[in-house]
Amino acid sequence: MYNKKVKIIATIGPASNSYHTLFELAKEGVDIYRINLSHQPHDEIVRLVSDMRKVEEKIGRPLTIMGDLAGPKIRIGKVDKNVVLKNNDKVEIISKAVLGTSSKLSVNYPTIIGQLKKGAEIFVDDGKIRMVVEEEGKEKAVAKVVVGGPLVSFKGFYAQGLSLENHGLTKKDREDVALMVKAGVDALAVSFVQTEKDIEAVKKLLPNDKQLMIIAKIETAKAIDNIEKIIAVSDGVMVARGDLGLAVPMAEVPHLQKQLIEICLKKAKPVITATQMLESMTNNPLPTRAEVTDVANAILDGTDAVMLSGETAMGKFPVETVKMMAQIITSAVPHVTRREFDHEQAVGNAVSSNVGHVADQIGARLVVAFTHRGKAASRIARHRSQQSIIALTPVKDTLYRLNFSWGVFPFEINPTKGFMDMVDQAKNIAFKNPVIKLHKGEPFVIAAGMPFGQTGTTNMILVEKV
């Protein structure tokens, strides 16, 4: 399923980490493998990346590998055996590390206790346990249990308004970045981003010759407040709806999803919609109608990619889930409306915005874009025209970056030697490619920049025929 326009990201775990399943996932439409570094053992990652590259070679198209950093997640401390919180229990949350009981617990970031304000909701274990703060204080807060349940060591802890802005990268994240660079992954997702400084801190850890694509996961209220600055320094954004739904009122998440997608489209930065997209397929062979509608609505919003988490990592039907996702994409994409943007005075933006118009007017189904770092193809793609975009680049890293972009299918070429060489390469790929079959004499559009080989120089639209 190579010619679908919205990209699929699959999280790899025990249900999908064999070579055979990795291949089947790619065959059904996965473009990006996600390695969740919160759970994946280091000694398994090298083998996993090697198998992914073997699948890439066999399947004959770029497959991007993304490592997802754990980030500074707030967790409760160690808890005694068989602790169950009951509704209306009072629980002290204290700064000193203690063995958790039904009456007191500690957290791994004790400085956040002073941020727990009276009336704030607290969510433990992804909301399975809910409490409300009744007394606030710097060293101790008291909360009332609203929804009880078993209290298990080291589960996630979240409350509205919490910030870890001054904590920086964890030791684990630094080690994981080094491992990802050594393993040869193509992208890193940064968890629990608060400000643009979190993205810049990860970039500083990368060697000069290996600038991985950096994706900012938006899952905190602080990130929403700083979104423009975060997007400016990131290569893409993930709408991480799980933790975001705990950081802000859950009813706001659909509207934030739409806003974040729209901002990313304006900035020509790829955007991923994630979390619980086909959650019921973790245990069932078919999704709910509501899940299908959710995925379709994300596509109609304009998302570049949709992500599967537990469905492919631990689920009973990982391959069937990807197949279903691809079917939803195929059905939804024809209903995506073209986007127009103000302030297109810059030459590259102005040319890119008109590529789709020219293609529409001549009835072209294909755009061939020559690009060095991928910006030209991304600028064309953000308008969400219905043409397929084949991006030709001599830079291997760019292939993996463009796997995140809507409707873009990247191919590696030799550096162009001049105008006629460019036209010849475009005609060859237009005539023979796995994305779209053009008929003899059918028109297509070329977008390129002169002088060749320089980034940000898209200044030409050319119409040719196969």
Rounded to the nearest 5°, which phi and psi values hold at 96? Answer: -80, 135
In a domain, 77, yes or no: no
What tens digit of pLDDT does each residue of 330-389 get?
Answer: 999 999 999 988 765 567 678 888 999 999 999 999 999 999 989 999 999 999 999 999
In a domain, 410, yes or no: yes
- The answer to whether residues 321 and 361 belong to one domain is no
- The answer to whether residues 42 and 137 belong to one domain is no
In a domain, 131, yes or no: yes
The domain boundary residue, chosen from 110, 139, 159: 159
Where residue 456 falls among pLDDT bands split at 50, 70, 90? Answer: low
pTM: 0.93
- The answer to whether residues 426 and 277 belong to one domain is no
- The answer to whether residues 327 and 389 belong to one domain is no
In a domain, 383, yes or no: yes
User: Does the structure show a pLDDT above 70 at 114?
Assistant: yes
- The answer to whether residues 226 and 260 belong to one domain is yes
User: Does the structure show a pLDDT above 80 at 453?
Assistant: no
**14-38 mean pLDDT:** 97
Looking up residue 323, the CATH number of its domain turns out to be 3.20.20.60
d(CA 51, CA 224): 37
- Strand-strand pairing, 90-94 and 149-150: unpaired
Which residues constitute the domain of residue 432?
A: 347-465
What would the two tokens of residue 109 be?
């970031």
Looking up residue 432, the CATH number of its domain turns out to be 3.40.1380.20
Helices (H) and strands (E) in the chain, counts: 15, 21
Where residue 458 falls among pLDDT bands split at 50, 70, 90? Answer: confident
What is the helix (H) or strand (E) element at residue 300, kind and residue range?
A: helix 289-301
What would the two tokens of residue 284 be?
């069932």
What tens digit of pLDDT does each residue of 101-110 get?
Answer: 999 999 999 9
Angle between helices 318-332 and 289-301 (to 10 degrees): 50
* CA dist list (Å): 78 to 151, 166, 440: 10, 24, 68
Mean pLDDT for the chain overall:
93
Tokens 């699948």 identify what position? 55
- Domain total in the chain: 3
Task: Give 458's Cβ-side CA count (13 Å radius).
Answer: 28
| pLDDT of amino acid 348 | 67
Identity (one letter) of the amino acid at 434?
Answer: P
What would the two tokens of residue 161 be?
């308004």
- The answer to whether residues 239 and 172 belong to one domain is yes
- Strand-strand pairing, 458-465 and 443-449: antiparallel
The domain boundary residue, chosen from 278, 304, 332: 332
d(CA 256, CA 382): 19
Rounded to the nearest 5°, which phi and psi values hold at 147? Answer: -125, 115
Where residue 1 falls among pLDDT bands split at 50, 70, 90? Answer: low
The domain boundary residue, chosen from 280, 308, 332: 332
Q: Alpha helix (H) ranges present in 67-215?
A: 171-183, 196-204
| pLDDT of amino acid 167 | 73
What tens digit of pLDDT does each residue of 146-163 get?
Answer: 999 999 999 999 987 788
In a domain, 337, yes or no: no
Report which of 365, 380, 379, 370 is spatially closest to residue 435, judged by C-alpha positions.
Answer: 365
- The answer to whether residues 306 and 432 belong to one domain is no
Looking up residue 119, the CATH number of its domain turns out to be 2.40.33.10
| pLDDT of amino acid 347 | 72
In angstroms, what is the C-alpha Rg of the chain?
A: 23
- The answer to whether residues 313 and 365 belong to one domain is no
Q: Are 95 and 106 in contact (CB under 8 A)?
A: yes
What tens digit of pLDDT does each residue of 230-251 get?
Answer: 999 999 999 999 999 988 889 9
| pLDDT of amino acid 345 | 56
d(CA 20, CA 24): 6
In a domain, 76, yes or no: no
